[in-house]
Amino acid sequence: MKLPPVDYEAPKTVPEAVELLGEHLDQASVLAGGQSLIPLLALRLAHPVVLIDINGVDGLSGVSATDGWVAIGAMTREYVAEESQTVADAVPLLAAALPMIGHEAIRSRGTIGGSLAHADPAAELPAVALALDAEFVVRSQSGERVIPAADWFEGYLTTSRLPDELLVEVRFPVARRGTGISFQEVARRHGDFAVVGLAASLTLSDGAISDARLAFSGVSDVPVRAVGVEDLLVGERPSADLFDEAARRATEDIDPPADLHGSSDYRKKVAAALVRRGLRAAADNAGERK
């Protein structure tokens, strides 16, 4: 369908943008890449009175590495992050997930901040951000606050961003030495939202797992960290038996929804298979990252 009539503002600076947000609050939707918001408008699932288009806002795009973190401006296009050597070197799990987002033409416009603020539980970036304990920097007229990923995702398409706050930056921790990663997903068609996805990261020290991070997409109304599996893995040496046990444990951590793409039981089986595959791949490439 055609989009409904809507007012439009195109601020040039972050202070202008947050002033507009402060004025319109939940009557406003922030328009970044538009790859989710414009369909929501077309399908009448979102009803903003005003769009605040941040595509022309200075200083919201770019990738920079500082002090153990890679900071990505909220308006950074997904293809820019995909082509970034900094992301490839320092946040390999993010680099692995980026090419799986939608299709090439979607990544031309879609943004890192937009996907994470939209918070679709089946999308790739929310699972990556949760697995890595990313940090979300939001700004309003009253200042800035930093929200850890564990507190960011509150429900289906819902985050802890307040109506007067603008997401300006997302920070990902730099992968430690000995870290291997894998992003796995099962989808009906390349580029479609996954039935289930898994972001996995393992850090090996002297042959044993010193840090394990797993987060699922598509198994709940938010991305889900597989805490039980992480606890099981830490301190152990990678092995097929260990990963089989991890796959079994993973299904205890989740209660996936059923829809026409798969039953809850099917999603649990897929999740278990992805844990096995993801851990094996992460353990294999942990040795390559010195």
Partner 1 sequence: MDITLRINGATCTGSPEARTTLADFLRDDLNLTGTHVGCEHGVCGACTVIVDGRAVRSCLMLAVQAAGSEVTTIEGLAPDGELGTLQQAMWDSHSFQCGFCTPGFVMQATAFLRAHPDAGERQVRAALSGNICRCTGYQSIIDGVLLAAERARQS
Q: Tell me if 8 contacts partner 1 by CB under 8 A.
A: yes
Q: Which stretch binds partner 1 (CB under 8 A): 17-25, 98-106, 167-175, 246-254?
A: 98-106
Alpha helices in 30-148 (DSSP H): 37-42, 78-83, 85-90, 92-97, 104-109, 112-118, 124-131
Pairing verdict, β 196-205 and 179-186: antiparallel
Q: In whole angstroms, what is the distance from residue 218 CA to residue 110 CA?
A: 20
Q: Tell me if 39 contacts partner 1 by CB under 8 A.
A: yes
Alpha-carbon separation of residue 42 from 45, 52, 55, 141 (angstroms): 8, 17, 20, 31
Structure tokens at 271: 């999740």
Q: Which stretch binds partner 1 (CB under 8 A): 41-49, 85-93, 175-183, 202-210?
A: 41-49
Alpha helices in 122-263 (DSSP H): 124-131, 149-152, 227-233, 240-253
Q: Tell me if 259 contacts partner 1 by CB under 8 A.
A: no
Contacting residue, 12, 27, 59, 104, with partner 1 by CB under 8 A: 104
CB-neighbour burial class of residue 211 (10 A; exposed 0-12, middle 13-18, buried 19+): middle
Q: Which of 213, 212, 214, 220 is nearest to 254 (CA)?
A: 220
Q: Which stretch binds partner 1 (CB under 8 A): 19-27, 38-46, 193-201, 218-226?
A: 38-46
Interaction mask 105-144, partner 1, x per CB under 8 A: xx-xx-----------------------------------
Structure tokens at 36: 């989710």
Q: How near is the Cβ of 32 to partner 1 at its closest, in Å?
A: 11
Contacting residue, 1, 143, 241, 260, with partner 1 by CB under 8 A: 1
Q: In whole angstroms, what is the distance from residue 59 CA to residue 80 CA?
A: 15
Interaction mask 152-191, partner 1, x per CB under 8 A: -------------------------------------xxx
Interaction mask 44-63, partner 1, x per CB under 8 A: -------x-x-x--------
Q: Measured on CA atoms in the order 37, 192, 175, 246, is the torsion positive or negative?
A: positive
Closest to partner 1 by CB, 112 or 202: 112
Question: Site residues (CB under 8 A) for partner 1?
Answer: 1-8, 10, 31, 34-35, 38-39, 41-43, 51, 53, 55, 79, 102-106, 108-109, 189-191
